[in-house]
Amino acid sequence: MKRVSGAILLVGAEIAAIAAGVVVFFLVAMVITSVPLFAGAGLVAVVAVSWLLGRPALRWLRVPRLVVPYVVANTLVLAPLAGFLVFRPYPVPPPASTPPGVAFWQLPTGSRVAYVKRAGSGTAGRPPVIFLHGGPGTPGEGLPEGSEDLAAAGFDVYAYDQLGAGRSTRLADPSGYTVARHVADLEAIRQTLGARQLILVGRSWGGTLTAAYLAAHPDHVAKAVLTSPGAIWEPAFPGGVGSPWDHLPGGLQARADALTSDPRVLVQSLLLGINPAAARAMVPDAEADARMRALLLLGKDATGCQGAKPAPTHGNPPGFYSNQITSEDAAAVTDPRPKLRGVRVPVLVMRGQCDYLKWEVTYDYRRTLPNSTLVYIPGAGHSIANGRPDLYRSLIRAFLLDRRLPVPAYTGTTDPARGS
């Protein structure tokens, strides 16, 4: 009977040792960002539990002399297994070379921000145009579609990599990636440029950031253009705002699942919830960004209309931690819509026919911003600049120059793509 009990206890010792190692790993990681320390603490827990439960189990099995070999063998098996499953890094390709024309602002917020500029010609004195990329954390490379036309019309045009993305600052503690910090960076950019007002062109998450900046600094915005904007305030849509990952073909979905479900990613995700700095210590920015880029490349063509031309690619890296923590913070901020209802800044909102975001997300801008105009663009998906580049350029140019828009405003309240 003791031998049966010993065998059962030995199996329990294995389970308990693993469980103890996992629990201690995460408990220590809550307060410490050193990977050797919280990984070592987990290993010590494995050894301790193996010893405490292995001794009586092996005594009942009448082989007490095997306690030390058992503990050593257990450690030699579990440690390499954890190393392979959890501590083996994702491959990181060499960084792309920095293209000519990239410069940096050292902002008083502490952010070192990469940007590109095209100086305006002809008419002087126009407010500078600032393009705000999406994501959060997914910058483009160079100046976006329409920049050349705007510069020719006299606007100085800028595009910058937001904090934690592209070639801009990465924070040691990712919990610093907040909506307020992004707004503060944008205000610091305005002050650095010496501009009384800015014109903001925000795409996707860039629309959300534009709304947050409008709520905080309405007098500093001359006009705004929002293309496929993300939610003004995500908690207003408890059923979700829509996701490009819902539209992946089966083969790509399997590859995306493989990128997001291996043990290292799962541990990183758990660490993000308890101590983002520990998550970053275990999975550094370069690795996390490389994995995110691989995922984005899988999904890049799932956001347009069927049969649309492939979206372009570039080497400017995304920012994983900026994406994750900024998104989490955006879901926790105070609803900005009460303030926005009193903002009279002229705003153009573009909605593509095949945008994966729910119609209600787009229409929320039209009903919230009193001086907004909504236009509907057939044949375009989430990236209107990619789907209908000529119309996209014409719309921005006409709106900023106070000319008649090339398409009429949409004045309905329901999604025109549904024919209702």
Nearest to 346 by CA among 137, 182, 128, 200: 200
The pLDDT of residue 196 is 97
Residue 257: what pLDDT?
A: 85
Backbone angles phi, psi at 231, to 5 degrees: -60, 140
Contact assessment for residue 224 and residue 208, using Cβ atoms and an 8 Å cutoff? no
Of the ranges 8-22, 88-102, 119-133, 152-166, the best mean pLDDT one: 152-166
Give the tens place of pLDDT for each residue, 291-312: 999 999 988 888 888 888 888 8
CA gap 418, 372 in Å, rounded: 22
Band of residue 419 on the pLDDT scale cut at 50, 70, 90? low
pLDDT of 251: 77
Tens of pLDDT along 307-356?
A: 888 888 899 999 999 999 999 999 999 999 999 999 999 999 999 999 99
- Interior angle at CA 194, CA 192 and CA 200, nearest 5: 80
> Quick one: which of 228, 205, 235, 248 has its CA closest to 358?
228
* pLDDT tens digit sequence for 11-45: 888 899 899 999 999 999 999 999 999 999 999 99
Mean pLDDT of the chain: 93
| Overall average pLDDT of the 239-257 stretch | 83
pLDDT band at 182 (very low <50, low <70, confident <90, very high): very high
Q: Which residues are bridge partners to 395 per DSSP?
A: none
156-178 b/e (C-beta count within 10 Å ≥ 16 → b): bbbbbbbbbbbbbbbbeebebbb
**pLDDT (0 to 100) of residue 250:** 72
3-state secondary structure string across the chain: CHHHHHHHHHHHHHHHHHHHHHHHHHHHHCCCCCHHHHHHHHHHHHHHHHHHHHHHHHHHCCCHHHHHHHHHHHHHHHHHHHHHHCCCCCCCCCCCCCCCCCEEEECCCCCEEEEEEECCCCCCCCCCEEEECECCCECCCCCCCCHHHHHHCCCCEEEECCCCCCCCCCCCCHHHCCHHHHHHHHHHHHHHHCCCCEEEEEECHHHHHHHHHHHHCHHHEEEEEEECCCCCCHHHCCCCCCCHHHHCCHHHHHHHHHHHCCHHHHHHHHHHHHCHHHHHHHCCHHHHHHHHHHHHHHHCCCCCCCCCCCCCCCCCCCCHHHHHHHHHHHCCCCCCHHHHCCCCCCEEEEEECCCCCCHHHHHHHHHHCCCEEEEEECCCCCCHHHHCHHHHHHHHHHHHCCCCCCCCCCCCCCCHHHCC
Domains of the chain: 2-85 (no CATH), 103-418 (3.40.50.1820)
Name the residue type at position 358. K
**pLDDT band at 66; cut points 50, 70, 90:** confident
Least confident of 79-83, 123-127, 361-365: 123-127
Q: Write down the pLDDT at residue 420.
A: 46
Nearest to 243 by CA among 302, 182, 196: 302
199-219 tens-digit pLDDT: 999 999 999 999 999 999 999
Name 355's Cβ contacts closer than 8 Å, sequence gap at least 6: 228, 242, 303, 362, 380, 381, 382
- What pLDDT was estimated at residue 375? 98
Q: What pTM did the predictor assign?
A: 0.94
| 229/257: higher pLDDT | 229
Q: Which of 211, 173, 196, 193 is nearest to 321 (CA)?
A: 173
Q: How far apart are the first and last CA of the chain?
A: 75
Maximum distance among all alpha carbons in the chain? 95
Distance CA 98, CA 167 (A): 9
C-alpha count within 13 angstroms, C-beta hemisphere, residue 232: 24
User: How far is the C-alpha of 27 from the C-alpha of 20, rounded, in Å?
Assistant: 10
Query: Between 35-60 and 67-85, two packed helices, what is the crossing angle to 10 degrees?
Result: 140
Q: What are phi and psi of 227, to 5 degrees?
A: -110, 120
Q: What number is the average pLDDT over the span 122-127?
A: 81
pLDDT tens-digit readout, 370-412:
999 999 999 999 999 999 999 999 999 999 999 999 999 999 9
pLDDT value, residue 69: 84
Model pLDDT, residue 1: 64
